[in-house]
Structure 1
Amino acid sequence: MDAAFFARDAQVVARDLLGKVLRHRVGDLWLAARIIETEAYYREEKGSHSSLGETPSRRAMFMGAGHIYMYYARGGDSLNVSVGDAGLGDAVLVKSALPWVDAVSDADSLAAMQRNNPTPAGHPRPPERLCAGQTLLCKALGLKVPDWNARRFDPTRFFIDDVGLRPARIVQTTRLGIPAGRDEHLAYRFVDLDGARHCTRNPLRRGQVEGRDYRWIEPQEPSP
């Protein structure tokens, strides 16, 4: 995806990233995961890191669209991308994904992801749970803050691939982990329906009510 893809509104980019594939080269292998959950963040709302102002660690959010912003979340690495106009401080968090296997990223790549991110007992984690959260995703793909924060994607090492997948339906709901009083009510989280059971938290779990807790979005035409 080129810079023009990211130089748009955060919610538009967050929706359009669903179905795209993250590819990270580690040695001779391309580790890969299909994005199923994203969150949009704007500088003017309190849930965003950039609302606290620009610092060296948050500098990537204020750089041109398409810069990688990584930070530590609960002791793990977390992947974001700057969006919109340079200096806005808007970004999209890649929240969760599913392992992707194809001719480029084969079964050996999946096995490497399982070695990167075993269960607490040291066993291979089921594929559908490998990337079920922002830190699990980065651990499985081998993405580290020092390697990628404030950098651009590199087609020879780490990039986002459009493999032609479009979600059949998208669920829009509130973001996760936003403290009370920091705009926790904003519905800036987007989930591919096909991956809802495997994302950070299923937005369609028992007790959730359409119109109150979530709503449906029909996917738009493919974006450039």
Structure 2
Amino acid sequence: MPAEPTLSLPWPGAKPLPDTFFDRDAQLLARELLGMVIRHRVGKRWLSARIIETEAYYLAEKGSHASLGYTEKRKALFADGGHIYMYYARGGDSLNFSAHGPGNAVLIKSGHPWVDAVSGADSLAAMQRNNPDSLGMPRAPERLCAGQTLLCRALGLKVTDWDARRFDLQRLFVEDVGERPHSIIQCARLGIPVGRDEHLPYRFVDAQYARHCTRNPLRRGQVEGQDYRLMSV
């Protein structure tokens, strides 16, 4: 059986999100996670990324894995809020958190490296070693976590280590560092096959980081009110 999460704080003043934070509607959770920081300890270093892009998924819509039914592999999706669901996509690992209600979850679509007193320049360098570009060179920080598999690769998160687990304050958790987006872009999710509710506007992007997410929703040709809408916070 997996070990129970360690309850003691990893350092004085840490502000990990409680499991109850995740026990809310998937769209609300997807918005509220923007600005939070994923912390993953690898060896003695904490690798960290600010969440800048999320997608909400529901049991009752065709775009979700849960809509295909319960399996042992998908059990975390049907657990209460705050369970980790990971799967393989596009040749890499993807990170999701269960939300309120069976089958509902949030995909962490992309992030931005977070550097502070806990995760310093050495942690950023470790993330760049984890996720070099196609030539084996360090990726620019703004491109390091710009996609769901790039994020997991940079943070060293793997399906085999974390799928169906709960957070462990000594190894992996999400922290409230006091950052909030000034505005949020809402638009359709990416990569949803035609006919599987691809039109649903369940993707949320921190507008300040729109250029650094999987695909910029404010790119040329996109029309406000038609392709996306801006939400005040």
**Is residue 2:198 matched to residue 1:184?**
yes
**Is residue 2:169 matched to residue 1:155?**
yes
List per-residue Cα deviations over 1:160-185 (Å, max 9, x = no partner): 00000010000000000000000000
Distance 1:61 1:122 in 2: 35
Secondary structure at the residue paired with 1:56? coil
1:3 Cα shift?
1.5
**Is residue 2:84 matched to residue 1:79?**
no
List per-residue Cα deviations over 1:29-53 (Å, max 9, x = no partner): 0000000000000000000000000
Matches within 5 A, 1:110-121: 110-121=124-135
Matches within 5 A, 1:1-224: 1-85=17-101, 88-219=102-233
Letter in 2 for 1:202: N
Secondary structure at the residue paired with 2:124? helix
Letter in 1 for 2:48: A
Moved more, 42-51 or 55-64: 55-64
Match for residue 14 of structure 2?
none
Distance 1:193 1:29 in 2: 29
- Normalised by the length of structure 1, the TM-score is 0.96
Distance 2:168 2:61 in 1: 30
Letter in 2 for 1:147: D
Letter in 1 for 2:209: G
Fraction of identical pairs, as percent: 71
Letter in 2 for 1:199: C
Letter in 2 for 1:185: H
Distance 2:164 2:79 in 1: 8
Secondary structure at the residue paired with 2:38? strand
CA RMSD of aligned residues (A): 0.5
What residue ranges of structure 1 are gaps of 5+ in the alignment?
220-224
Match for residue 222 of structure 1?
none
Secondary structure at the residue paired with 2:96? strand
Distance 1:3 1:110 in 2: 27
1:218 Cα shift?
1.4
1:64 Cα shift?
1.4
- Normalised by the length of structure 2, the TM-score is 0.92
1:109 Cα shift?
0.1
Letter in 2 for 1:170: I
Letter in 2 for 1:65: G
1:74 Cα shift?
1.1
